[in-house]
């Protein structure tokens, strides 16, 4: 296998296209810090970004390993580009032990970065990083198995929304802000929506291995309402924060992603039983998260430049 093939294989194994889950929070927290304080430390930003990427990579790999051990991904016949794991284990491309080893390496690199930032910024960074690594590893690992107990969606929303955004802001400013907390919630809701809608095709296999996701607990028909609520709350919070002048008015530009959310909701309504017909909704949800997060980040950057 040549270098390009190996690179493509590990991009697939790491599920690198989904790194937007932590790239968006890193950008938004840093952009708000620059907008409010004029503070931007490039080295600290890069360390924060790579620390988050290593945690996310480690989480993705351990999820693949332990979902393989539970037989969850093995029995999944409804997998797509968006759900069912990376499939590198199931396709015999990478040995399970290799996946776990690389996951531990990723978490270890995150620890090194976290310890340095703890040295420069204090125990807050240690607490945030520790929580992210532990919950990432035990999302599917025994004995905790967060994702199997009905509260995995909440943890993912927290770990890819409020916590990294607050952390990125803190690294730049060494303070916290109510504004940052409030505007981080929509990002957390959108990443939760990605996980949530991706679980519809996994309903049967998750149910078979007793992986109690919200889709399994509620059933697909009732669960689709949860998706609508996630999307609705996202835009209500963004709009309310702007109207109350908690955030600059220019953040309203992120509302232009509403049609994407509506489109995904309509597709889900008609195809909540899963299947490949749900793929457009899954893709639209990912794009909605990415564009909304980038527009929020960009609006803060533009606001700083224009003095809005």
Opening angle at CA 46, ends 41 and 49, nearest 5? 125
**Predicted local confidence at residue 118, as pLDDT:** 97
Cut 0.85: pTM above it:
yes
Number of domains in the chain: 1
To the nearest whole number, what is the mean pLDDT of the chain?
93
pLDDT band at 3 (very low <50, low <70, confident <90, very high): low
pLDDT at 301 over 70: yes
pLDDT at 4 over 70: no
pLDDT in tens, 213-254: 999 999 999 999 999 999 999 999 999 999 999 999 999 999
- Domain containing residue 25: CATH number: 1.10.600
**Predicted local confidence at residue 198, as pLDDT:** 94
- Give the range of the structural domain holding residue 46, as residue numbers without chain letter: 3-306
CA dist 206 and 213 (Å) reads 8
């Amino acid at each position: 296998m040549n270098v390009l093939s190996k690179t493509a294989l590990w991009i697939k194994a790491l599920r690198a296209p989904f790194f937007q889950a932590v790239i968006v929070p890193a950008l938004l927290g840093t952009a708000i810090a620059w907008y409010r304080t004029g503070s931007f430390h490039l080295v600290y930003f890069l360390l924060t970004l790579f620390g988050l990427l290593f945690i996310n990579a480690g989480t993705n790999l351990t999820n693949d390993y332990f979902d393989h051990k539970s037989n969850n991904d093995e029995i999944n016949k409804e997998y797509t580009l968006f759900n069912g794991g990376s499939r590198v284990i199931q396709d015999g491309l990478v040995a399970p032990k290799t996946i776990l080893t690389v996951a531990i390496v990723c978490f270890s690199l995150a620890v090194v970065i976290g310890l340095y930032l703890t040295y420069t910024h204090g125990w807050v960074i240690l607490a945030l990083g520790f929580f992210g690594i532990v919950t990432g590893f035990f999302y599917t690992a025994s004995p905790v198995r967060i994702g199997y107990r009905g509260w995995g969606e909440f943890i993912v929303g927290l770990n890819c929304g409020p916590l990294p955004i607050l952390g990125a802001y803190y690294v730049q400013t060494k303070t916290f802000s109510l504004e940052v907390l409030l505007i981080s919630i929509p990002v957390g809701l959108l990443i939760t929506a990605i996980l949530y809608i991706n679980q519809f095709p996994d309903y049967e296999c998750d149910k078979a291995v007793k992986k109690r996701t919200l889709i399994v607990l509620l059933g697909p028909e009732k669960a689709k309402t949860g998706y609508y609520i996630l999307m609705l709350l996202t835009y209500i919070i963004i709009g309310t924060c702007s109207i109350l002048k908690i955030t600059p008015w220019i953040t309203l530009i992120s509302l232009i992603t509403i049609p994407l959310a509506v489109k995904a909701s309509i597709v889900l309504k008609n195809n909540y039983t899963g299947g490949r017909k749900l793929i457009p909704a899954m893709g639209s949800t990912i794009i909605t998260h990415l564009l909304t997060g980038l527009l929020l980040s960009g609006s803060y950057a533009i606001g700083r430049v224009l003095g809005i």
